[in-house]
Chains A and B, each alone.
Chain A
Amino acid sequence: MSLLELQGVEARYGQVKALHGVSLAVSEGEIAAVLGANGAGKTTTLRAISGTVRRAGEIVFSGHRLDRLGPEAVARLGVAHVPEGRGTFMELTVWENLRLGAYIRRNGSFKADTERIFKLFPRLAERREQQAGTLSGGEQQMLALGRALMMRPRLLLLDEPSLGLAPLVVREIFRILGELNEQDGLTVLVVEQNASIALAAAHRAFVLETGRVVVEGESAELREHPTVRKSYLGY
């Protein structure tokens, strides 16, 4: 059964329509990737789900309609969105950023969860009292991921985690994502320009072109798909 289902979702920025009826489904426990060129609507798709852009159409998450809810309410249902640019609270410390991730949670121990995040990302533990704005790009991406995980989300929306990072750091981040997915059954919907790394990590993928899903399927299938190979993998 799918955890998240989008049916004919449209979104616009003022007069400009960015999504022209996106339909896709993500099953519980899988990593799904959204691929596409600049301006295809990848980021907007995530925004439509989390409610940070005006949208129409049907978005169902675990039995709840999301399409009328604002971002606070969507977050409270268990959807964590790491937005474009990571959304770090630059002026606050690493520890405070993590604390904010756990803002809506009432159950569970905050301390145990921070320990878990620090175990996943030892670099953050060393810098816990440091201002987040002073972290390197890779550390900030880890912090963004950590902040999202502190929400104990049922669905993680990730926008371009590889952007501006060294290949080694990107590999590390996707390795950790895979680990969280396998061990905790975390469901992830990740937007990526780097198609090869996304297809290696994801179970399924959707290709967006001008605000529509044009190709979808298992990652293994898509790797052999002629247009995907030509346009996104480059061979």
Chain B
Amino acid sequence: MSQFLQQVVSGLASGGIYGSLALALVLIYRSTGVVNFAQGEMATFSTYVAWTLMDHGLGFWPAFVATLAIAFAGGVAIERTIIRPVENAPVLVVVILTIGLLILINGATTWIWGGAAKQFHGPFSTRPISIGGVAFSIQDFGVIGVSVVAVALLALFFRFTKVGLALRAAALNPGSSRLVGIRVGWMLALGWGLAAVLGAIAGTMAAPSLFLDPNMMQTVLLYAFAAAVLGGLESPIGAVVAGLALGVMLNLLGTYWDFVGGQLRLPAALAVLLGVLLLRPQGLFGRMTVRRV
């Protein structure tokens, strides 16, 4: 029982990271219809920025806040300079562009910081803490807490602020949004900025347990894709819930099913994805769009 609880908590911690990155994917997908393949590399780059700041003597939390600000500016800048010129191009063109961006950012990261893995000290102690006789990792609770706070703040922003409402409106109905004076182009850029911030959070939370190297987020991005698609791609809540569920499920599968173990987690995740999509093509939280022809 105690092993089960430990695995659930540590699954929730990885799930929070998958969920945050999945939410970043959903944010961009909802407003532009494009899956951003560079999301993972953007997150890795941001994490390196945090590492550099800490290397220069900043504490974790000041470095974290500064990194989020830099990530936001970077996300906005990428949208304005690289995505904007192809705004009206077919979706495939934009998708290819984000793949190019993935390679470009990965190359830049390796060029600036080198390919060797770096140790990244997180803010949370790795000591175990005992609750009711079961030993949990403090770090897992910390990661869960940060993910929950980030997602909750974002939800409040979208639900209760004027800009949040305008962001939703611009994603749902760009034509009418322009007619009420919303600058839709800037809303897209803002969406990219917020997605980059979520990525930076996922990256800095993942780095302490993964080691920081230029390909750190690539596997995480695959899990995040799985979570986003499971959640229905259009649904922010779906992405977060599916991310958490995926984290827990993979942990339990790896622990209790020797065949899966530590090595076959990724295939297991993709098998789950395939299974869900066969039964519910619109994802768990997605809506089926019925078109009359």
| Contact surface of A with B, Cβ cutoff 8 Å | 50, 52, 70-72, 75-76, 80-81, 83, 87-92, 96, 99-101, 103-104, 147, 151
Cβ A151 vs Cβ B180 within 8 A: yes
B166 lies within 8 A of chain A by Cβ: yes
Residues of B within 8 A of A92 (CB): 165, 168-169, 172
- Give bound CA distance, A89 to B169, whole Å: 7
- How far apart are A188's CB and chain B's nearest CB, in angstroms? 16
Look across to chain A and name the residue whose beta carbon is closest to the beta carbon of B186.
A72
* Cβ of B184 under 8 Å from chain A: yes
Q: A75-B181, A103-B162 are in contact. List 11 more A-B contacts (CB 8 A).
A: A75-B180, A83-B175, A83-B176, A83-B179, A87-B175, A90-B173, A99-B162, A100-B165, A100-B180, A103-B180, A104-B180
The minimal Cβ–Cβ distance linking B49 to chain A, given in whole angstroms, is 33
State whether A72 touches B183 (Cβ < 8 A): yes
Q: How far is the CA of A70 from the CA of B179 in the complex (A)?
A: 9
Q: What are 24 A-B pairs at a CB distance below 8 A?
A: A52-B175, A52-B178, A70-B178, A71-B179, A76-B181, A80-B179, A87-B176, A87-B179, A88-B176, A89-B172, A90-B172, A92-B165, A92-B169, A96-B165, A100-B169, A100-B177, A100-B180, A100-B182, A103-B166, A103-B180, A103-B181, A104-B181, A151-B180, A151-B181
Q: How far does the alpha carbon of A104 sit from the alpha carbon of B178 in the complex, in Å?
A: 11
Interface residues on B, range: 10 to 19
- Give bound CA distance, A101 to B172, whole Å: 15
CB distance from A209 to the nearest CB of B (A): 27
Contact in complex: B179, A75 (CB < 8 Å): yes
Residues on the B chain within 8 Å of A87, using CB = 173, 175-176, 179
Cβ-closest chain A residue relative to B168: A92
A76 to B181, CA, bound (A): 6
Closest to A73 in B: B181
**Nearest residue, chain A, Cβ from B179:** A81
Whether the pair A50, B179 counts as a contact (CB closer than 8 A) is yes
Closest to A157 in B: B179
The 7 nearest A-B residue pairs measured at CB: A104-B181, A87-B176, A75-B181, A71-B178, A76-B181, A81-B179, A72-B178
- Tell me, in angstroms, the Cα distance from A70 to B182 when the chains sit together: 11
